Amino acid sequence: MTRKGELFAGLTVAVVTPFRDGEIDEPALRKLVDYHVEQGTDCISPVGTTGESPTLSHDEHERVINIVCEQAAGRIKTMPGTGSNSTREAIRLTKFAKAAGATGSLSVAPYYNKPTQQGFYEHFKAIAEAVDLPIVVYNIPGRTAKNIEPETIVKLGELKNIVAVKESTGSMDQSSHILAGSELTILSGDDSLTLPLMALGGSGVVSVVGNIIPRDVKAMVTAFQQGDVATAQKWHHKMFPLCRDMLGLSTNPIPLKGAMMLLGRGNGEMRLPMTPLDENQLKSLAKTLASYGLATQR
């Protein structure tokens, strides 16, 4: 079966938002875009969970989208986060992303509101009808407080420009239900579950660990796509400790920004309420990075 969102198959990296002295570090953000172009990343997704979007003002959110799309300049696909717990705001941001030249949008389930399943459906339907842009639904109940049930997602898949789901429920059964009942593309939202999900029929990942090892994540995805399961398994097992630390040491993107600082690829700065890893956590992370073969600066 040809799935609707194969445009986003492969490796999408959920990129961080670099800060310096409390403000968006535009040169560092542009450098990140160039880095992923050079590394062969298929798509980048700014201003999502990893991009600390809840700490950005609306103007800053738009600014990051503009910078990333401008710097991408057609060299790499872009899937900015444009979701909100306000349907009107989600429509406004998605329209902005389209005007900025984004390839598609990543639209998170309305958080905090805890809508009914009908509410979820009407929310995404309103966005899809208002903006002619490929939309990837982002289902992450651990952050939003409520699951978009698979029956609802299957129904959403009947809408023309809802093309894929970023699956962050951790449920293989939910993914199987969606794949069996729709033509939607499924992208893993959990690095450690990418290979298992691809075995079910998933098409790739929106990756956190891809911020630091994009070539390796892409190598795993490509190996599986080419039928080389043994190589894909080797990559999965090699990357697993890093994937574990990116989520296990603290809340995303705290460990990731710590890792990027240790690797000399950022200053580690975050905005409250996000706070850095403590010294013991940094030592543990540095050990994992070194075991992987990555040279740290401490």
Residue 237 CB contacts under 8 Å (≥ 6 apart), including other chains: none
Asked if 4 and 157 touch (Cβ cutoff 8 Å), the reply is yes
In this predicted structure, what is the pLDDT of residue 83? 97
Q: Is residue 141 part of a domain?
A: yes
In a domain, residue 271? The reply is: no
pLDDT computed for residue 197 by the predictor: 98
Between CA 165 and CA 155 the distance in angstroms is 12
* Domain presence at residue 157: yes
Which amino acid is it at 83?
G
Question: Is 31 marked active-site?
Answer: no
229: phi then psi, degrees, rounded to nearest 5: -65, -40
Q: 3-state DSSP helix/strand/coil percent for the chain, to nearest 5? A: 50, 10, 35
pLDDT digits (tens, 9 = 90+) for 195-245: 999 999 999 999 999 999 999 999 999 999 999 999 999 999 999 999 999
Contact present, 12 and 187 (Cβ < 8 Å)? yes
Q: CATH code at 25?
A: 3.20.20.70
Per-residue tokens: 119: 């509410």
Rounded-to-integer distance, Cα 57 and Cα 241, Å: 34
Domain of residue 85, residue span: 6-226
pLDDT for position 2: 85
Active-site residue among 121, 138, 146, 218? Answer: 138
Residue 272 lies in a domain: no
Residue 298 inside a domain? The answer is no
144 sits in which H/E element: helix 141-144
- CB distance 100 to 65 below 8 Å: yes
Identify whether 247 is part of a domain: no
Query: Is 292 tagged catalytic?
Result: no
Contact 186, 164 (CB under 8 A): yes
Q: What is the pLDDT of residue 283?
A: 95
Pairing type for strands 23-24 and 19-20 reads: antiparallel
| Beta carbons of 220 and 11 less than 8 angstroms apart | no
Question: What does the pLDDT read at residue 272?
Answer: 97
Residue 270 lies in a domain: no
Residue 231 lies in a domain: no
Looking at 4, 155, 166, 257, which residue is catalytic?
A: 166
Within 10 angstroms of residue 146's Cβ, the number of other Cβ atoms is 18
Cα gap 79→183, rounded to integer Å:
20
Q: Which residues in the chain come in under a pLDDT of 50? A: none
- DSSP bridge partners of 204: 10, 187
Q: What pLDDT was estimated at residue 297?
A: 81
Q: Specify the number of domains making up the chain.
A: 1
Q: What pLDDT shows up at residue 125?
A: 98
Instruction: For residue range 239-271, list pLDDT tens digits in order.
Output: 999 999 998 999 999 999 999 999 999 999 999
